[in-house]
Amino acid sequence: MTQTKNIVLASSSPYRKELLSRILTEFKTESPDIDETPFPDEEPVEHVARLAEQKALTVSLNHPQSVVIGSDQVCVLEGKILGKPHTREKAIEQLAACSGKTINFYTSLCVMKSGKEGQDLSVVVTEVKFRDLAQNEIERYVDREQPLDCAGSFKAEGLGIALFESLSSKDPTALIGLPLITLAESLRKLNIQLI
């Protein structure tokens, strides 16, 4: 069994850190500090997979003897990527656009040991169907939860769940930012037992 103390999360996200702490007691975090701009004509699935791999590879250069976990996520509405809103107005605009529609979240995961030779790369899809939302309901939600740093302008782990009609995913924590079922499987492949 491999020790879990040599695991590094390639992220500065407090959401991913909290999720990883649910299954691991010892790990480090390090921001990968990469350019996340999509390439021209890059599909969302390709984009998130590339970023998870790039994050893991960048951090693994500083931690060659560690297992490095990289992850990324995009929210897609009608073929377009919705980024983090950063402002109240943009969050309200995004949620109004999602009202009554289905969006897809693509959450990538790259678990890397000793460079690319020891990597496991996957993308988990989560389908979210929004209820029909009234404008004042959207505004109250944004003011209450301040989801300005969240792709899609909501926090599914909080009040954002009340915006949905349905949610479908093989890995429920993927929507929050780190697919723990998929991650646990990747770690087991490296003989890292969580239980």
Residue 80 burial (CB count, 10 A): 10
**Confidence grade of residue 45 (pLDDT, cut at 50, 70, 90):** very high
pLDDT at 4: 58
Please report how many Cα atoms fall inside a 13 Å half-sphere around the Cα of residue 27, on the Cβ side. 23
| pLDDT single digits (tens) 56-108 | 999 999 998 899 999 999 999 999 999 899 999 999 999 999 999 999 999 99
Helices (H), the chain: 14-20, 44-60, 88-98, 135-145, 180-189
| pLDDT single digits (tens) 143-177 | 999 999 998 999 998 999 999 999 999 999 999 99
pLDDT at 73: 93
Q: Which of 41, 72, 120, 149 is catalytic?
A: 72
CA dist 11 and 26 (Å) reads: 15
Answer yes or no: 72 catalytic.
yes
Domain limits, the chain = 4-189
**Confidence grade of residue 1 (pLDDT, cut at 50, 70, 90):** very low
Question: Domain spanning 4-189 has what CATH number?
Answer: 3.90.950.10
Three-state DSSP at 77 gives: strand
CA dist 154 and 163 (Å) reads: 9
